[in-house]
Amino acid sequence: MTLHQFVDARSALLSVEGVTLQYKTEDALVTATHRVDFQVFQSDRFVLLGPSGCGKSTLLKAIGGYLSPTEGQIKLKGKEVTEPGPDRMMVFQEFDQLLPWKTVGENVVFALTASGRAKPAEARERARSYIDKVGLTKFIDSYPHMLSGGMKQRVAIARGMAMEPDVLLMDEPFAALDALTRRKMQDELLQLWDDTHFTVLFVTHSIEEAIRIGTRILLLSPHPGQVKAELNSISPSELGTGAQAALETRINDMLFAS
Amino acid sequence: MTEVLYTRPEIVRGDGKTNFLQVEKTLSVFERIYRIGAVRKAFILFVLAAAWEIYGRWLGNPLLFPSFSQTFAAFSSNIADGTIPARALASIKTLLIGYGIGIVLASLLTTLAIGSRIGADLLETLTSMFNPLPAIALLPLALIWFGLGQGSVIFVLVHSVLWAIALNTHAGFRSVSNTMRMVGLNYGLRGLKLVRHILIPAAFPSILTGLKVGWAFAWRTLIAAELVFGVSSGSGGLGWFIFENRNQLETANVFAGLFTVILIGLAVENLIFATVEKKTIRRWGMQA
């Protein structure tokens, strides 16, 4: 992990400092996370991993700017996050994140023009190149309802990447896919990353996925979510070797040790 | 407890496709025609017209129940001399004015309703109060306020359109998925821009339902209101045409008038709204 040897010398792209998140339900105030700290650096594939109830999705939403911490702060490039914005593009788990009244191409173009990230002509150009990258050139004029779940997620990823955000936030984007498609999408994501080395913050509850996707893994314990450990993942070349199995066992032990 | 284990041979098929099976087969002509909705409906209409004709002839009393051919003759002669088109135009003009005002007011109310909690309460209270009130029941009041004329009709029309559209649009806005809202916010869209670019298209199926229901209410209310008085500036609308002819015992003309009311209603439903539906929500896969 040569990338991470000198990280301390650099300043963090995204820093989460002592963040406590709470939300209200009908009759209770629920603490989702308690004083969570971590830092994400440029070109990290940072994974938030934990069982359900550890507040990882809530944490991602807070970084997205959809809810504000009751304690602590979230800073992107030194500036505090206060509201959602195109510098932190979200890829959701739900398939309905694409606008059904726009074609695949229009969905990406609209994201770019509506947010003011690009002028219409440039937006079309960029949309085409990113849709090409996820291998959906043939479907650029199709409406989302004509696509399979995996293709919809690819479009959402293309849209997120076309925006060229500071950090791409992915909230269990492959969780609703079947196992074979999920595996393929993971490999594709890694290939895309090889191209541009974008920074991605990825939420998952699958240990295997975390090891496959991440360069750095943050383990969270549930009720309320607290940082249990922050580990380095293995390099893709070590996948399928004993190193992967060892890390899996290590994470497993940490998550289920009580 | 004895277990018998068979070692069964593995089967691996080559790539060669068997080709004795026809993958795609064209349907027979009859089947293909039967699959066209318009053909099936036209057939039903034909049967109904035939039944009407037979009953009318069997009864033999055109004063009470003119047959289909008599009605059709009255209908075509009234179209030829321009009576029905003129009356229909007068009706539609009034209708469009009322419908238009209703849409504008409904958008104002729903914008207010999604903008603030109190606005939503206002809309909910108003719709639950006024939606059950038949528009025609307001006519006597409208006559006092606006006099005998178009003003009164438009007033009741607005009442009949407004609540249906506002109710459906508001329900549509509320049912827009949270993910879609978050996507809009992610793009940096706020306030009216979020409404225009995300909420309105996302709620379009409900909005269209509201417009359709509003149209149906308005059309019925209009004819009913015209039946009550309708005569404004010399030439009334279709309702007045029906009323007039009943007074003169021109029953075939009454039927022709009713026929026109049905025709216009059907045309708007099946041509205008169906086209809009096909071009929008069907194409977007938001409605099966």
Map out the domains of chain B with their CATH numbers.
75-282 (1.10.3720.10)
ipTM metric: 0.86
* Binary contact (A89, B186; C-beta < 8 A): yes
Greatest distance between any 2 Cα atoms in chain A: 56
* Binary contact (B186, A85; C-beta < 8 A): yes
Summarize pLDDT for B19-74 with one digit per residue, the tens.
666 777 777 888 888 888 888 889 998 999 999 999 999 988 888 888 889 888 99
Summarize pLDDT for A231-256 with one digit per residue, the tens.
888 777 777 778 888 888 888 888 77
Q: Rounded to an integer, what distance in angstroms lies between the CA atom of residue A121 and that of residue A232?
A: 41
Q: What residues of chain B lie within 8 A of the CB of A100, using their CB? A: 202, 284-286
> What are the beta bridge partners of residue A49?
A204, A219
- Residue B204 contacts residue B286 (beta carbons within 8 Å): yes
Q: Is A67's Cβ below 8 Å from some Cβ in B? A: no
Q: What residues of chain B lie within 8 A of the CB of A65, using their CB? A: 185
Give the CATH H-level superfamily of domain A2-87+168-256.
Answer: P-loop containing nucleotide triphosphate hydrolases (3.40.50.300)
Q: What percent of chain B has pLDDT over 70?
A: 93
pLDDT tier at A117, thresholds 50, 70, 90: confident
Average the pLDDT over B217-232 and give the result.
79
Average the pLDDT over B166-192 and give the result.
89
Per 3-state DSSP, chain B is made up of helix, strand and coil in percentages (nearest 5) of 75, 0, 25
Look at residue B95 and tell me whether its pLDDT is greater than 50.
yes
Summarize pLDDT for A134-168 with one digit per residue, the tens.
888 888 888 998 888 888 988 998 898 888 888 89
Q: What residues of chain B lie within 8 A of the CB of A86, using their CB? A: 186-188
What is each CA distance from A118 to A112, A113, A127, A196, in whole angstroms? Answer: 5, 6, 10, 19
pLDDT tier at A115, thresholds 50, 70, 90: confident
State residue B54's pLDDT score. 93
The lowest-confidence range among A172-186, B110-124, B223-237 is: B223-237
Find out whether the peptide bond into A236 is cis, omega within 30 degrees of 0.
no
State residue A258's pLDDT score. 56
pTM: 0.79
Look at residue B271 and tell me whether its pLDDT is greater than 80.
yes
Summarize pLDDT for B151-162 with one digit per residue, the tens.
888 899 999 999
Mean pLDDT taken over chain B: 86
**CA torsion, points A237, A239, A243, A249, in degrees to nearest 10?**
160
CATH 3.40.50.300-classified regions of chain A: 2-87+168-256
Summarize pLDDT for B67-91 with one digit per residue, the tens.
889 888 998 998 898 888 888 888 8
Distance of CA B66 to the CA centre of its chain: 29
Average the pLDDT over B235-249 and give the result.
83
What size, in residues, is chain A? 258
Q: What residues of chain A lie within 8 A of the CB of B188, using their CB? A: 84-86, 114-116
* Binary contact (A114, B284; C-beta < 8 A): no
* Binary contact (B188, A94; C-beta < 8 A): no
Mean pLDDT taken over chain A: 84
Minimum distance, in Å, between the CA of residue A100 and any CA atom of chain B: 5
Q: Rounded to an integer, what distance in angstroms lies between the CA atom of residue B234 and that of residue A184?
A: 75
Look at residue B231 and tell me whether its pLDDT is greater than 60.
no
Which residue, B215, B247, B214, B213, is CA-closest to B230? Answer: B247
State residue A227's pLDDT score. 81
Element (H, E) at B206: helix B204-228
State residue A189's pLDDT score. 86
